[in-house]
Every structure is written in structure tokens, then in C-alpha cells.
Amino acid sequence: MNNLENFIRNHNAAFDAEEPSAGHMERFEQMLPKSKVRTLSYVKYAAAAAMITLMMTLSGLYIYDNWGDSGQSLSTLASAGPQYAKAEAHFVSTIEQQQQTIDALQSQELIKDFDFEQDLKAMDQLYKKLQKDLNANPDDPRVINAMIKHYQTRIAVMNEIVKQLKEANKIKNNKTQNHEKVSL
């Protein structure tokens, strides 16, 4: 190894004598693939602006549809005609009675695990949408029939809730009485 090192040190100038020919580096650079400078065209900017505008428009429509018209009074079934006023009064009265029954059954502290309020809230939202539809189309029999069907469905759902709450109360009362008999 020492001989090789000595030879390289002694003949160092001979190793550095050869240089590439003139223009070698330029030809080498031309052979390399050129990196493309990426430019964003106005089409991409226009597409992005259109997308943002579309998103803002859709969100505005959604907000207006769900929370708008707060100052505008919503039509009820009675506003569709006098023949519907009596029917609506009956439906509303029945729903209020059922709600009082549900509240009374829930307040007995025996029932805590029934979560039906979300269903009733969803039905309320549907009713508000029907009211908006009735505002837009006061003489449309499809909207009027849908409102009547909504009242009937809500009453049926509330009847089922009352039935289930009463059954749950009976079961819990029986369990409580059985536990009291056993502990005596």
C-alpha cells in the first residue's frame, strides 16, 4: 500500500493533466432532461374561483332554507281554508294531550332510557318545511294532504310512545314490587 501511495504522490501532476474537452459540460447539460417550470394558467384560477362561488351559494341557500324566513309567519293548515281549521284544531288538541301524557309518564322517574325526543324534533322540522311549502303553494292539495298526513302520523307515533312508556312503567313497577316482596 505504501508503494501505491508513494507512486500517486510522486505522479500527482500526471493524474490532474487531463481535462474534458471544451463544451463538454454544455453538451452534458443539454442531454439532461429539462425541468419544466410549472405555471398555473388562468383556467385553474377560474375553476378555483367558480368552485368557491358555488360552495358559498350552496351554503347560503342551505342557511336560508333552514334558518331564513324567521320574520315571515308560516302558514298553518287552517290558512288553507276554513274547512281545515276544525281538523287542525282537533289534531293540535290531540297532540297537546299526548305530549302532556308523555311528560307525565316521563316524570315518574321510572323511565329514563327512552330517547324519542329526537324523532319528535325531526317531525317538527318536517312540519316547518311543510309550512314553508304551504306558504309557497297555498292552494296545492298535495301540500295540504301532506300536512294532514303529518298530523295523523305524529299522533300515531305519540300514541305508540305513550303505549311503550306505560309498558315500561308496568315492568319497572312489577320489578320494584317483586324486589320489595323479596326483601320483606
Specify the number of domains making up the chain.
1
Quick one: average pLDDT of 11-36?
A: 76
> 25 in a domain, yes or no?
no
Contact of 74 with 129, CB cutoff 8 Å: no
Q: Is the overall model pTM greater than 0.85, yes or no? A: no
Element (H, E) at 3: helix 2-10
> 124 in a domain, yes or no?
yes
162 CB-near residues (< 8 Å, 6+ apart): 98, 101, 102, 105
Task: Note the pLDDT of residue 119.
Answer: 80
> 13 in a domain, yes or no?
no
Distance CA 88, CA 77 (A): 6
> 95 in a domain, yes or no?
yes
> 67 in a domain, yes or no?
no
> 117 in a domain, yes or no?
yes
For the chain, give the percent of residues with pLDDT over 70. Answer: 78
Task: Note the pLDDT of residue 135.
Answer: 86
For the chain, give the percent of residues with pLDDT over 90. Answer: 3
Residue span of the structural domain in which 153 resides: 77-183
Buried b (16+ CB within 10 A) or exposed e, 112-131: eeeeeeeeeeeeeeebeebb
Q: Which of 11-20, 100-109, 140-149, 151-160 has the lowest mean pLDDT?
A: 11-20
Quick one: average pLDDT of 166-170?
A: 81
